[in-house]
């Protein structure tokens, strides 16, 4: 299928999680964000259908990569997982922007050079699944953030908040406990994990820090959820809040019902009617219940 515009991007809505990090820690947290992208996309998968066809658990991933492609090599893909970890500084990512990506919006902005206006505009035309951002507060102080783009929107507001809780708790705990994580999970493995998880969801097998392939659902229950619980506790989140939000993630794994799984189960029972599926999805969403509690 060939399109002359970027309207296919309208089917790739994400729930973008932002994490502000200090400059000294940015490279470490940025690499960890790449590592946890595989379990995050599998546990939140919500787009198995496109134009009525049953595709990946998170079809949004390849769709976004293809819908705004401008050609060129893998090094110049505007949407990608990237080509390596950051070694020493997040500035390596912005240097790569300058060296590898032609400017799409040659706009001259009359702002002080210290505001990095052109760097920020150019970075806004490159959609890494984990994107480093530079912003400025009202006092003019620079801020560094990680924009974690791998999680889809929905299925409910409750599910979205649970996804954010999982990400924050998991990445903080890994930053505390996994020294030299890049040596325990190489970039090529992290990238292959991501696409395997987007394709297969909870049925995927991925590599983790022990260099052994492990079923993703088993990894989530045995290691990732306990790690996220510890991370949220260290951040000062109340135990009842932790149990509530991470319990939603646990429920998805134990019932094997993500948004993608629910949609497929609905179609299997009620037939291939995408309009009726959308209506049923909206009714379930308005109930306020997380997706693992939705009936078929």
The domain locations on the chain are 11-282
Mean pLDDT of all residues belonging to the chain:
94
Q: What is the pTM of this model?
A: 0.95
Confidence of residue 16 (pLDDT cuts 50, 70, 90): very high
H or E segment at 142? strand 142-148
More confident site: 5 or 66: 66
Confidence of residue 262 (pLDDT cuts 50, 70, 90): very high
Q: What number is the average pLDDT over the span 66-75?
A: 74
Does residue 75 surpass a pLDDT of 80? no
What percent of the chain is modeled with pLDDT above 70? 99
Does residue 70 surpass a pLDDT of 80? no
* Cα–Cα nearest to 42, from 156, 161, 166: 166
Structure tokens at 4: 């002359």
Does residue 66 surpass a pLDDT of 80? yes
Q: Give the residue carrying structure tokens 């097998």.
A: 205
The tens digit of pLDDT for each residue in 76-97 reads 788 999 999 999 999 999 999 9
Confidence of residue 225 (pLDDT cuts 50, 70, 90): very high
Residues 6+ apart with CB under 8 A from 278: none
Task: Give dist(CA 202, CA 196) in Å, integer.
Answer: 10
Task: Give dist(CA 27, CA 31) in Å, integer.
Answer: 6
Q: Given this structure, which CATH class describes domain 11-282?
A: alpha beta
Task: Give dist(CA 7, CA 63) in Å, integer.
Answer: 11
* Cα–Cα nearest to 79, from 30, 9, 175, 137: 9
The tally of CA atoms less than 13 A away on the side-chain side of residue 52 is 6
Confidence of residue 10 (pLDDT cuts 50, 70, 90): confident
**What are the strands of the beta sheet with 142-148, ordered from one edge?**
17-20, 142-148, 130-136
Beta strands in 70-119 (DSSP E): 79-80
155: preceding bond cis by omega (within 30 degrees): yes
User: Kind of pairing, strands 17-20 and 142-148?
Assistant: antiparallel
Does residue 27 surpass a pLDDT of 80? yes
End-to-end CA distance of the chain: 32
Task: Specify the range with the lowest mean pLDDT, choosing from 22-26, 43-47, 65-69, 230-234.
Answer: 65-69
The tens digit of pLDDT for each residue in 150-205 reads 999 999 999 999 999 999 999 999 999 998 999 999 999 999 999 999 999 999 99
């Amino acid at each position: 299928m060939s399109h002359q515009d970027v309207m296919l991007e309208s089917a790739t809505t994400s729930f973008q999680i932002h994490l502000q990090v200090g400059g000294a820690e940015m490279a470490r947290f940025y690499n960890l964000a790449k590592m946890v992208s595989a379990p995050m996309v599998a546990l939140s998968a919500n787009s198995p259908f496109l134009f009525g066809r049953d595709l990946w658990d998170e079809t949004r991933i390849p769709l976004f990569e293809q819908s705004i492609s401008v050609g060129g090599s893998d090094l110049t893909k505007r949407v990608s997982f990237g080509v390596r970890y950051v070694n020493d500084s997040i500035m390596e990512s912005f240097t790569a922007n300058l060296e590898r990506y032609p400017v799409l919006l040659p706009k001259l902005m009359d702002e002080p050079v210290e505001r990095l206006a052109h760097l920020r505009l150019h970075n806004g035309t490159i959609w890494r699944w984990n994107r480093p951002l530079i912003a400025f507060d009202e006092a003019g102080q620079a801020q560094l953030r990680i924009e974690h783009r791998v999680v889809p929107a929905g299925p409910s507001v409750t599910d979205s908040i649970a996804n954010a809780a999982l990400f924050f708790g998991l990445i903080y705990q890994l930053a505390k406990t996994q020294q030299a994580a890049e040596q325990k999970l190489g970039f090529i493995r992290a990238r292959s994990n991501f696409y395997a998880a987007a394709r297969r969801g909870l049925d995927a097998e991925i590599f983790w820090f022990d260099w052994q392939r492990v079923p993703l659902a088993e990894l989530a229950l045995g290691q990732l959820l306990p790690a996220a619980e510890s991370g949220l506790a260290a951040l000062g989140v109340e135990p009842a809040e932790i149990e509530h939000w991470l319990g939603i993630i646990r429920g998805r794994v134990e019932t094997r019902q993500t948004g993608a799984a629910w949609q497929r189960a609905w179609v299997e029972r009620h037939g291939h009617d995408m309009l009726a599926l959308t209506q049923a999805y909206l009714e379930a969403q308005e109930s306020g219940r997380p997706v693992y509690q939705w009936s078929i």
